[in-house]
Chains A and B, each alone.
Chain A
Amino acid sequence: MSILHLLKKRFRASRQKRWNRIFDQSHIKRVQNGLQVLADQGKKLSSVDSKKAEEYSVEVLGSIDFAPWLKLYSAFRGEFLEGWIPDNYLGRVVCPAINGDLKDLSSYKTLSKQLLQTETLPDLVYLIKGTWLTAERLGTTFDEVKSICFDHYPFVYLKRNFSFQGNGILKLYPKDFDGIEFDKLGDFVIQAPIFQHPFMEEISPGAVATLRITTVKQNQKPAETRLCGLRIGREGMNYIDTKGAMRIPVDPNFGKLYPSAITANWQLLETHPDTKVPFEGKTIPYFKEATQLCESIHERFPHIQLIGWDAAITDQGQVKLMEWNTDQPGIVYSESSIGPHFKELGWEDLWKN
């Protein structure tokens, strides 16, 4: 091997290491904070579990970098369990490997309905590169857009491409419409509002609760629901955003809620802080319909193996899709509390490729 070749190899390896370090930074911070908050609630990481997490991370997942999340999961559960997928391993190893070049596709919310071909997405209109289109992808005018939005709905939601975790969403009333410089917002979709089922309204007053259904479709196998969670809001929230929302892990087979909601800051709550409704013993209505819908849409889109679907249950008992996520759908709250969810998929070997 020539010196130049060796130097290039070293340089690339060092660059990769740097990228990994940058990628992991926010994860480490979140875990440190989570471990502290959990310890304050009596869920302290034992030194035995800490060691197990480190050993497993190195031996099975190929690097000590993946130990932090395993430690947090262990602290939450009071024991270390084999098969857990650390969030940073999902993001920098699993998703690029199994969702490939298409992993960013779901960031284009203006393409979701076109690609998924489902009537369950409440898309009304799109603005794409200065062109207004209806959900049927017919050209339309600004006046028609107003009519499409407000002839039947008191308000609508605008979601910008590349927005995530609730950022880039605007709740718009007719009075807001004329004052907005739409051209400055980039490409976006406008969606009809969803009026949610009373079950959801009770535990997420105001903001539509988001049922996250994560499906996996392996080569030549049917799509299957692997992980579920319910994101619920606080009184006064217009929509669910990552910071303010609470997550209730959900049994992916039967839709039964975990007895506690978990805040973004890892606080466990047995009742809703505003309505005082308890979570224990509750089962999500129309849960099977929701998972079946996500699985059936995934069946028609086998290009991507891992998809996180955001669904809602309407007051009429219908399942609506709000969006799909193909780049690192969040797993940590459900994975720590009721996981591991992704065993026997071979994901722990993907780092070797």
Chain B
Amino acid sequence: MISLVKKLYRQNQEKRRNKATDAYYNRSAPKAYQALIKQLPDHTLTTKQETEIETYAADVLGSASFSPWLKVFTACRGEFKEGWMPLDYWARIVCPTLNGSLQPLGKIKTLTQKFLNAEELPDLAYYVKGNWVMASGEKTTQETLRKTLFDGHPNVFLKQDNTSRGGGVMKLDADQFSKLDFEKLGDFVIQSPIETHDFFKKLSPSAVPSLRVTTYKAYAQPARVVQSGIRLGLVSTPYIYEDECIRIAIRIEDGVTNEYGFSGDWQILKAHSETGVSITGLKVPKYQEIKKRCEMLHDQNPHFGLIAWDMTVDKNDQIKIMEWNTVTPSYNMDEAAIGPHFKGLGFEDFWKRKNPGR
């Protein structure tokens, strides 16, 4: 009897947790849907389509609760496509299954270089538990660091551990650096600024655009790129922050941008909303090399099934890694525009496992 009560309690707890996760990841789906059908009224979902999507979510992904983003994707394309990956399913089933208990490590930016050992990462120094450590691993002091940090750069970027999507990022000059109360910031990395390639500078004049390349490494198989897109900054932003940017999907075969992108609130764009520069049909420089490098780095880190890389190219044509993401890298606008990206990888069966997401 007690064991039955315990079982019921656990099931109820699990149900509540799932509901909360779905609610979190689906919170912006209704707005996205409304924004899309306002621009594309003939894409409004019929009752029949809605039922079909809900049935698909229940039958293929295990729960009708996975349908909100599928409806958004359908509204974008005007038809439902099998294989689309809703964000809440991705967050609570796919990413935990692929990356296991190491999933949160990508958020610890002060450890990134230890995993990647890549010269393309612009890390200069770390502040960890009150200790200053150079990117090389040598100890240093705040005073020594302050003297050398700004020798070659007018400013640096500070990125806090356990933050994402531009949260916890600061652009600092020497004066601001001196005045900062570091102890209140927790652990963080200091990165050198990146002066981007003309291609990116033209598209995103003030913030360094972030080229997202997602790689998947199946058991005993080489890593391969499965999804890609680019985030462009707005004129007034010093770095890309949450949804205050323009997103455009990239064809992974040839690195060419899609025929349209989106603003943060799902307005369909063919040109940068502020500069007017066309963002469609553009070939990203060094794209094949970037893909190859991401795949190589992933092959060196097989503990993770899925890694999303934020990349760019600098003015000297050098590839740069801004960060890696192993937690829940999102892709909604790219999936809507040119997806499905993850069809045929077996992700839709993960929910059937004994402890999905664990």
Interface residues of A (CB under 8 A from B): 101-102, 104, 108, 110-111, 114-115, 117, 128-131, 133, 137-139, 187, 217, 219-220, 299-300, 302-303, 305
Task: Describe B's contact surface by its main secondary structure.
Answer: loop
Contacts of B108 in A (CB 8 A): 102, 303
Q: Which residue of B lies closest to A111 (CB)?
A: B303
Of B130, B131, B221, most A-chain CB atoms within 10 Å: B131
Q: Are A131 and B299 in contact (CB under 8 A)?
A: yes
Q: How far is the CA of A139 from the CA of B298 in the complex (A)?
A: 11
Contacts of A299 in B (CB 8 A): 131, 133, 139
Q: Which residue of B lies closest to A101 (CB)?
A: B104
Q: Which residue of A lies closest to B128 (CB)?
A: A302
Q: Which residue of B lies closest to A11 (CB)?
A: B9
Q: Are B302 and A129 in contact (CB under 8 A)?
A: yes
Chain A binder among B60-68, B109-117, B244-252, B336-344: B109-117
Shortest distance from the beta carbon of A112 to any chain B beta carbon, whole Å: 11
Q: How far is the CA of A104 from the CA of B100 in the complex (A)?
A: 13
User: How would residues 197 to 213 of chain B score, 1 for a CB under 8 Å from any chain A CB and 0 otherwise?
Assistant: 00000000000000000
Q: Are B299 and A139 in contact (CB under 8 A)?
A: yes
Please provide the chain B residues from 216 to 231 with a CB less than 8 Å away from any CB of chain A in the complex. Answer: 217, 219-222
Q: Which residue of B lies closest to A219 (CB)?
A: B130
Q: Are B220 and A220 in contact (CB under 8 A)?
A: no
Contacts of B102 in A (CB 8 A): 108
- The reply to whether the CB of B49 lies closer than 8 angstroms to some CB of chain A is no
Contacts of B217 in A (CB 8 A): 129, 131
- The reply to whether the CB of B353 lies closer than 8 angstroms to some CB of chain A is no
Of A110, A129, A138, A219, most B-chain CB atoms within 10 Å: A129
Q: How far is the CA of A114 from the CA of B111 in the complex (A)?
A: 11
Q: How far is the CA of A300 from the CA of B111 in the complex (A)?
A: 11
5 interchain residue pairs of minimum CB distance: A130-B220, A220-B130, A219-B130, A137-B300, A128-B302
User: How would residues 83 to 105 of chain B score, 1 for a CB under 8 Å from any chain A CB and 0 otherwise?
Assistant: 00000000000000000011010
Q: How far is the CA of A300 from the CA of B110 in the complex (A)?
A: 11
Contacts of B300 in A (CB 8 A): 133, 137-138
Shortest distance from the beta carbon of B302 to any chain A beta carbon, whole Å: 4
Among B129, B138, B220, B302, the residue within 8 A (CB) of A303 is B129
Q: How far is the CA of A197 from the CA of B117 in the complex (A)?
A: 33
Q: How far is the CA of A299 from the CA of B133 in the complex (A)?
A: 9
Q: How far is the CA of A187 from the CA of B303 in the complex (A)?
A: 9
Q: Are B303 and A110 in contact (CB under 8 A)?
A: yes
Query: Given A101-B104, A299-B139, A303-B111, is A129 in contact with B129 using a C-beta cutoff of 8 Å?
Result: no
Q: How far is the CA of A299 from the CA of B129 in the complex (A)?
A: 11
11 chain-A/chain-B pairs, Cβ below 8 angstroms? A114-B115, A115-B114, A117-B117, A128-B302, A130-B221, A131-B220, A131-B302, A133-B302, A137-B301, A219-B130, A299-B139
Query: Given A131-B302, A219-B130, is A117 in contact with B114 using a C-beta cutoff of 8 Å?
Result: yes
- The reply to whether the CB of B122 lies closer than 8 angstroms to some CB of chain A is no
Q: Which residue of B lies closest to A136 (CB)?
A: B300
Q: Are A302 and B114 in contact (CB under 8 A)?
A: no
Q: Are A128 and B101 in contact (CB under 8 A)?
A: no
- The reply to whether the CB of B187 lies closer than 8 angstroms to some CB of chain A is yes
Q: How far is the CA of A219 from the CA of B130 in the complex (A)?
A: 5
Q: Are B131 and A220 in contact (CB under 8 A)?
A: yes
Q: Are A219 and B129 in contact (CB under 8 A)?
A: yes
Query: Given A129-B302, A129-B303, is A104 in contact with B101 using a C-beta cutoff of 8 Å?
Result: yes
Q: Are A128 and B303 in contact (CB under 8 A)?
A: yes
Shortest distance from the beta carbon of A121 to any chain B beta carbon, whole Å: 14
Shortest distance from the beta carbon of B105 to any chain A beta carbon, whole Å: 9
Q: Which residue of A lies closest to B222 (CB)?
A: A139
- The reply to whether the CB of B261 lies closer than 8 angstroms to some CB of chain A is no
User: How would residues 113 to 125 of chain B score, 1 for a CB under 8 Å from any chain A CB and 0 otherwise?
Assistant: 0110100000000
Q: Are A117 and B137 in contact (CB under 8 A)?
A: yes
Contacts of B301 in A (CB 8 A): 137
Q: How far is the CA of A130 from the CA of B305 in the complex (A)?
A: 12
Shortest distance from the beta carbon of A298 to any chain B beta carbon, whole Å: 11
Q: How far is the CA of A220 from the CA of B130 in the complex (A)?
A: 5
Contacts of B133 in A (CB 8 A): 299-300, 302
Contacts of A114 in B (CB 8 A): 114-115, 117
User: How would residues 298 to 324 of chain B score, 1 for a CB under 8 Å from any chain A CB and 0 otherwise?
Assistant: 011111010000000000000000000
Q: Are B129 and A302 in contact (CB under 8 A)?
A: yes
Contacts of B139 in A (CB 8 A): 299
Of B137, B139, B222, most A-chain CB atoms within 10 Å: B137
Among A104, A110, A115, A139, the residue within 8 A (CB) of B111 is A115
Q: Are A303 and B110 in contact (CB under 8 A)?
A: yes
Contacts of A104 in B (CB 8 A): 101
Contacts of A305 in B (CB 8 A): 129
Q: How far is the CA of A129 from the CA of B114 in the complex (A)?
A: 20
Q: How far is the CA of A110 from the CA of B300 in the complex (A)?
A: 11
Q: How far is the CA of A299 from the CA of B138 in the complex (A)?
A: 8
Q: How far is the CA of A193 from the CA of B307 in the complex (A)?
A: 34
Q: How far is the CA of A82 from the CA of B125 in the complex (A)?
A: 40
Q: How far is the CA of A117 from the CA of B110 in the complex (A)?
A: 15
Contacts of A117 in B (CB 8 A): 114, 117, 137
Shortest distance from the beta carbon of A107 to any chain B beta carbon, whole Å: 9
Q: How far is the CA of A130 from the CA of B220 in the complex (A)?
A: 4
Q: How far is the CA of A129 from the CA of B219 in the complex (A)?
A: 5
Q: How far is the CA of A111 from the CA of B219 in the complex (A)?
A: 18
Among A128, A187, A300, the residue within 8 A (CB) of B137 is A300
Q: How far is the CA of A102 from the CA of B108 in the complex (A)?
A: 10
Of A111, A114, A131, most B-chain CB atoms within 10 Å: A131
Contacts of A115 in B (CB 8 A): 111, 114-115
Query: Given A108-B303, A129-B302, is A219 in contact with B114 using a C-beta cutoff of 8 Å?
Result: no
Contacts of B128 in A (CB 8 A): 302-303
Q: How far is the CA of A111 from the CA of B117 in the complex (A)?
A: 13
Of B128, B138, B305, most A-chain CB atoms within 10 Å: B128
Q: How far is the CA of A345 from the CA of B221 in the complex (A)?
A: 47
Please provide the chain B residues from 264 to 288 with a CB less than 8 Å away from any CB of chain A in the complex. Answer: none
Q: Are B131 and A302 in contact (CB under 8 A)?
A: yes
Q: Are B131 and A219 in contact (CB under 8 A)?
A: yes
Q: Are A129 and B220 in contact (CB under 8 A)?
A: yes
Shortest distance from the beta carbon of A224 to any chain B beta carbon, whole Å: 14
Q: Are A303 and B303 in contact (CB under 8 A)?
A: no
Q: How far is the CA of A318 from the CA of B137 in the complex (A)?
A: 22
